[in-house]
Amino acid sequence: MFARAASDVTPGPLPLEAVRRAGRTRRRRRTTALSALSVLAVATSVVAVVVVLTPVRPSPSAPGPAPVAVPPTVVPTSAPPVRTSEAPPDPTPIRVVASGERVNAGKGWKVWLTAEGKHWVGPDGMENARSVTDGNIDVMAPGVSHQSEGNPKGAFHSGLYYGTRSAGRVELKNAEGRKVVATLLELPGRPGWGVWYAHTGPGMGEVGTALYDRAGELLSELPLIPRSEPS
């Protein structure tokens, strides 16, 4: 049936020229599309290369707090500071007392000062005095006096220092170099003289007396003298 129907149809002329034109159009469109894809691929490759080869600078960081300097660690030592021989000893504090004020000097001894000079009393109750106004002491020049009383168990030493307003210390020293620093007393107003006293133990023997100023300079010195022994 189909064959009989087809034999009754007379075919028209073949539109060859139209087919050719349509084919050329399709080829041009395909070529343009491929060219565009090739350009896009090349551009993408170039961008990728640029991204890979171009160094990237880091963005500046936000300002932060300034670094804190850490001091070097100091390791403490247990060794005490060493005083050199050139450094003088510290001055002895001078106790200011009222006129007639009796000072307990220890071991039953008492000492007091008046405008006339030094007074002292021992355990036996006998009072003694050493004047600064009788003319036997030149208070215009630095000097030191020395009195002592004792027994084989020890001795009490005392005296005057005078002729200076910068007394630093009075020091006793025996023949072996053993030293004892005395206590200093003065009346108010820095009259230019004062009293010193000290105790020494058994075996100290003869002692000398030296007066130093506050800078450690020797102002006056007495030679070694024997201690008074009970008769």
One-character DSSP codes across 151-191: ETTEEEEEEEEES-S-EEEEEEEETT--EEEPEEEE-TT--
Residue 204: CB atoms within 10 Å = 20
Write the pLDDT tens digit of every residue in 74-123. 444 444 444 444 567 889 999 999 999 999 999 999 999 999 999 999 99
117 touches 158 (CB < 8 A):
no
Determine the 3-state secondary structure of 24 from DSSP.
helix
Residue 124 Cα to chain centre, angstroms: 53
Pick from 54-63, 136-145, 190-199: least confident = 54-63
- Confidence at 4, pLDDT banded by 50, 70, 90: confident
- Supply the pLDDT for residue 45: 46
- Supply the pLDDT for residue 32: 60
If you average pLDDT over residues 147-156, what whole number do you get? 90
- Supply the pLDDT for residue 35: 56
Which whole-number Å values give the CA distances from 231 to 149, 150, 151, 204, 228, in the listed order?
11, 11, 10, 19, 9
Mean pLDDT of the chain: 79
d(CA 91, CA 214): 5
Write the pLDDT tens digit of every residue in 186-199. 999 989 999 999 99
Write the pLDDT tens digit of every residue in 10-29. 666 667 777 788 778 777 77
d(CA 193, CA 133): 11
Is pLDDT above 90 for 162?
Answer: yes
pTM for this model (two decimals): 0.60
- Confidence at 65, pLDDT banded by 50, 70, 90: low
108: which 2 tokens?
């039953």
